[in-house]
Amino acid sequence: MKKVVTLLLMVFLLMTVGNALGAEKVKIGHLTLVPSLPTYVAMEKGFFTEQGLKVELIPFQSGADIMDALVAGRIDADCMSAITGNWFAAQTVPDRFKIFLVYAADSNVDNTMVVVVKKDSPLKNLKGLKGKKVGTFPGATSMALATAIIRTQMDPQKEKVIFTEIAPPNIVPALAAGQIDAFFSPEPFGMLAVFQGVGRYLMKSPCTLLGLKKGIVGGAFSFSAKFLQKRPEVAKKVKAAIEKGVDYIKTNEQESRGYLSKYAQLPPPVAARIPFEKWIKIKDLDKKAPQLYFDVLYKEGAYQKEIDTTTLYYE
């Protein structure tokens, strides 16, 4: 009997080792932000493993760095970074990537963009930003978005609004130190400012002022063209695992939020309450919505040339 048990254990171990050795290795880059959650869920729940994948998650500090790695083929997938960075890449190195999932508001009301001022600030609305220092994340698109929003209330150039680019980890400390009077950012930075007793909301959902009724796309999950060309079947498996992560979030939201504390280093009270937009599969995406958003940013000078964003998707 012992020989039979021993033999079965050996067979099991050989199968396990064989499966591990046969697993397809995939390098996935990500920004440690809320929209990357399906990637974290897929990792924690074993959805990548189910697909026969051995995934290496590689964190990046900026959208520019992750897109550089993607188009150069140093990573196989970007899961997730800002879609605005994908559009920059499309201008300079077209056909180097394809988007397979987006994180977006699918209506005029976005849940994540906020305008924050100091807790004791006398400012009451966006018009109060006249002559003030306003922080945004680094990059032309972040500044263009803030400019476009303020322009719905006043001319930011004429009224001498001063924009300052600040790295995400430093934006709340900059407000606390009085280096800026306000900042535009996605959550959780507004929540963190309030949680730390530093700031208050001047306005939630400011993108509503842009009148983009089809919504605003914030994040994109993308494959490198090199990966799609050389390993198309593996790409399908990565997509399936992350989309399973999306579906899991819908039915197990509170459990999934817990992974934001581990991967995005959010305080548990913030992770539990931060508002979500939607993770939208490309087959369900109204592709006109991202194009309209791109057009707003292009008009503000964020991009040098027009692109057809509807051609950038993997289906």
State the pLDDT at residue 71.
95
* Cis-peptide into 188, omega within 30 deg: yes
Domain with CATH 3.40.190.10 in the chain: 2-106+215-311, 113-210
List, in sequence order, every beta strand (DSSP E) within the chain.
24-31, 53-60, 77-82, 97-105, 113-118, 133-136, 162-165, 182-186, 199-204, 216-224, 278-281
Tell me which fold the domain 2-106+215-311 belongs to: D-Maltodextrin-Binding Protein; domain 2 (3.40.190)
Q: How far does Cα 168 stand from its chain's mean position? A: 13
Task: Kindly report the backbone phi and psi dihedral angles of residue 51, in degrees, each rounded to the nearest multiple of 5, phi listed first.
Answer: -85, 5
Give per-residue pLDDT as tens, 25-49.
Answer: 999 999 999 999 999 999 999 999 9
Cβ pair 43, 77 in contact under 8 A: no
Residues 257, 278: Cα–Cα separation, whole Å? 14
Q: Which residues pair with 30 in a beta bridge?
A: 59
Give per-residue pLDDT as tens, 127-151.
Answer: 999 999 999 998 889 999 999 999 9
Average pLDDT score over residue span 190-216: 95
Q: State the residue for tokens 């590689």.
A: 58
Q: State the residue for tokens 């995400």.
A: 168
pLDDT score of 312 more than 60: yes
State the pLDDT at residue 111.
85
State the pLDDT at residue 110.
85
Give per-residue pLDDT as tens, 89-99.
Answer: 999 998 999 99
Cβ pair 24, 54 in contact under 8 A: yes
Residue 137 identity: F
State the pLDDT at residue 2.
53
Closest to 280 in 3D by CA, of 206, 213, 221: 221
Q: State the residue for tokens 């009148």.
A: 211
Tell me which fold the domain 113-210 belongs to: D-Maltodextrin-Binding Protein; domain 2 (3.40.190)
Residues 61, 53: Cα–Cα separation, whole Å? 25
